[in-house]
Structures are given as C-alpha cells and as structure tokens.
Structure 1
Amino acid sequence: MSIRIGNSCVNCENLTENEVCKVHAVKVSDNYTCDSFEMKAALKNDPNCGTCARYESTNCVNPQKAAPGMLCSHWAPQNAQA
C-alpha cells in the first residue's frame, strides 16, 4: 500500500470550491485520495519565516534574526496535516 499525501483531494484540480469532486460527484475532504487524481498546476511553496509555525514563538531557533522572507533549515509549515 502506498502513502500518497500529495495526492489528497485538497491538491486535486477536480475539487470544487464547495469540496465536491467533479469526477465522482461526492463531497470529499483533504483526507481523501483516488486514482483519478489530477495535481493542481501550482502548489503554494513559500518556506520562509512568514509562513513558519515557529515564527515569533518560543521554539524559533533564530529569534533574534527571524524576519518575513528569511529562509532557514528549521522551517515548519503553518498548516501541515497528515
């Protein structure tokens, strides 16, 4: 069995604004996946302090230097789900 986080409905072109699959005509969530998956043309990939869950928190590894737009190897996405 394959684990396909990137193939969830939230990343699929077939998902409508009201969370209905255009292919299967059912309401879905970002936990769903299927073989009719079509990746959206672009995903938001903006790893910097402004999009980091650790920004301006006590577990930021660079609190004196952190600023929007700065990159570091400890970046953690704000909306990560598994």
Structure 2
Amino acid sequence: MSIRLGNSCINCDNLVEGNVCKVHGVKVGNSYTCDSFEMKATLKDKENCVTCVRYETSDCANPQKAAPGMSCAHWAPQSASA
C-alpha cells in the first residue's frame, strides 16, 4: 500500500457538497482516498487558526496547540458565501 501525501478526499476535485464523492456516490471523510483521486486545481493556504471561526473559543478542537499559521482538520470558515 502506498502513502500519498495530500490525496485525501478533501483535496479531491470529485468531492461535492455534503462530503459526497461524485465518482462513487458515497459520503466520505478526511481520511478517505482512492485511485480516482483528482487533485483540486488550487489549494487554499489561507485556512489556518487565525481564519477559523473556532479560534480561541471553547469550540476549538486543539486549544493548547492552536496558533497563527497552523492548520487542522476541524477548521471552519469565519464567513461563507454561496
């Protein structure tokens, strides 16, 4: 089994709203990956503790580690638009 850096469903172009894979038609999570992986054209580097709505609140998943520039799997946008 090979280890693939960044090949999780979160970085895949086949991930659609609701964390559903449009290729396989199933709900997926952060740790899923497959051979149909298609890297998104761009990755956003602005997603870190400072831009997270949970930063320095009681909802933060890692309050002892959270710091500017740090990323985590529980990041949530401060504002969203459709």
TM-score above 0.5, yes or no: yes
Alignment of 1:2-81 (within 5 A): 2-46=2-46, 50=50, 53-55=66-68, 77-79=70-72
Q: Which amino acid aligns with 2:41?
A: A
Cα distance 1:5–1:80, how it changes in 2: closer, same or farther (>3 A)? farther
Equivalent residue pairs, number: 61
Task: Kindly report structure 1 stretches of 4+ aligned residues shifted beyond 2 Å.
Answer: 48-51
Q: Which has the higher strand share?
A: 2
Say which one has the larger Rg: 1
> Normalized against structure 1, the TM-score is what?
0.58
Aligned-residue sequence identity (percent) comes to 64
Cα distance 1:79–1:20, how it changes in 2: closer, same or farther (>3 A)? same
> Normalized against structure 2, the TM-score is what?
0.58
* Structure 1 vs Structure 2 CA RMSD: 2.8
| Structure 2: unaligned runs, 5 residues or longer | 52-65, 75-82
